[in-house]
């Protein structure tokens, strides 16, 4: 399952499938579940969908599209959701996806952890949740916890909300440093303006951290200044700053850290910002620019760190090496 703090509709692949990803477990069959119940078109959950339609039987249909072009379409229903031996919740609204296409290769579905009314944390009335994505080369599994205390050594930042975009979890970021030096990026670049635009969110469903072009250019130029001793390797896909480290067993790179309002600092591990993109020793700076107003802290920068969302107290915590 994909974990996504940037959306609100939880869905699983369902039989019969018109187009589904190849998944390791059997695809869910609604007809085999005694607790599965289709939602009617006049149900409150159906009315809360951004995109919905009615089938001939007057059952609710949903559609969710994602920023990378992926989408899921199917029935909207309620089902009992169980968390192993930790308990279960009845009548949770989920999507039963019959047509699922895009880049979620190998996924059986998506757990929506956003801040909207239909997200899983909202429906089960969770006061907090946390996850930890293991490193790319780890044989262990990533974890998701609800209503558990965050680690005591967490770097705490304000969790901000935007009434015009209730799904997203904004964070109070005041700046970024490279090589121990704060970059000359105005704090306003990371703030929501009066129209509800801008700001920076923590998004587990986006891989690469996206910064406004002016902020990204400043970060990249500073990083390049500190890495002139490394052999340049041009660009790769959306990355414009890459290095050929094939002949090196060890490379020195500048430190990089996020600075939050309240004075807290989160230093990133080098593996969270200089990543391998092929098997030939090419590594790239794992940030990218965006022409949009919204900046995003993606999951590459979150790997190996337990990210805790204290919904009751509007705080987000980052705890490196707590998977």
Q: Please state the length of the chain.
A: 323
Main-chain dihedrals φ then ψ at residue 101, nearest 5 degrees: -135, 150
CA–CA dist 320, 323 (Å, integer): 8
CB 183: neighbour CB atoms within 10 A?
A: 17
Based on the residue annotation, tell me whether 244 is a catalytic residue of this protein: no
- DSSP of 233-265, one letter per residue? ---BTTB--EEE-TT-S------EEEEETTS-E
Based on the residue annotation, tell me whether 4 is a catalytic residue of this protein: yes
Residue of 8, 203, 240, 321 marked active site: 203
Measured torsion, CA atoms of residues 285, 205, 197, 64, in degrees rounded to the nearest 10: 140
Main-chain dihedrals φ then ψ at residue 93, nearest 5 degrees: -75, 125
Residue of 4, 42, 68, 135 marked active site: 4
CA–CA dist 97, 63 (Å, integer): 9
Question: In which residue are the tokens 């990355």 written?
Answer: 239
Which of the residues are catalytic? 4, 203
């Amino acid at each position: 399952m994909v974990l996504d703090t940037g959306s609100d509709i939880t869905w699983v692949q369902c039989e019969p499938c018109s187009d589904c990803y190849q998944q390791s477990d059997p695809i869910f069959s609604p007809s085999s579940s005694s607790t599965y119940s289709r939602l009617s078109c006049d149900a409150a959950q159906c009315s809360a969908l951004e995109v919905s339609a009615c089938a001939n039987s007057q059952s609710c249909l949903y559609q969710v599209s994602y920023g990378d072009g992926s989408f899921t379409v199917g029935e909207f229903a309620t089902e009992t959701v169980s968390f192993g031996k930790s308990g279960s919740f009845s009548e949770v609204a989920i999507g039963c996806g019959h047509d699922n296409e895009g880049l979620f290769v190998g996924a059986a579905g998506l757990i929506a952890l956003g801040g909207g009314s239909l997200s899983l944390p909202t429906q089960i009335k969770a006061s907090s949740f946390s996850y930890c994505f293991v490193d790319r080369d780890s044989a262990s599994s990533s974890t998701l916890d609800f209503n558990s205390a965050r680690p005591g050594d967490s770097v705490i930042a304000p969790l901000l909300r935007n009434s015009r975009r209730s799904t997203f979890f904004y964070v109070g970021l005041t700046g970024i440093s490279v090589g121990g030096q704060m970059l000359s990026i105005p704090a306003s670049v990371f703030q929501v303006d009066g129209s509800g635009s801008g700001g920076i969110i923590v998004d587990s469903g986006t891989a690469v951290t996206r910064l406004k072009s002016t902020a990204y250019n400043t970060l990249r130029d500073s990083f390049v200044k500190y890495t002139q001793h490394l052999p340049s390797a041009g660009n790769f896909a959306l990355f414009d700053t890459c290095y050929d480290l094939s002949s090196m067993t060890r490379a020195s790179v500048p430190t990089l850290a996020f600075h939050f309002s309240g004075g807290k600092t989160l230093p990133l591990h080098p593996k969270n910002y200089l990543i391998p993109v092929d098997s030939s020793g090419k590594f790239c700076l794992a940030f990218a620019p965006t022409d949009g107003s919204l900046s995003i802290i993606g999951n590459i920068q979150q790997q190996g760190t337990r990210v805790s969302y204290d919904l009751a107290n509007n705080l987000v915590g980052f705890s490196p090496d707590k998977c």
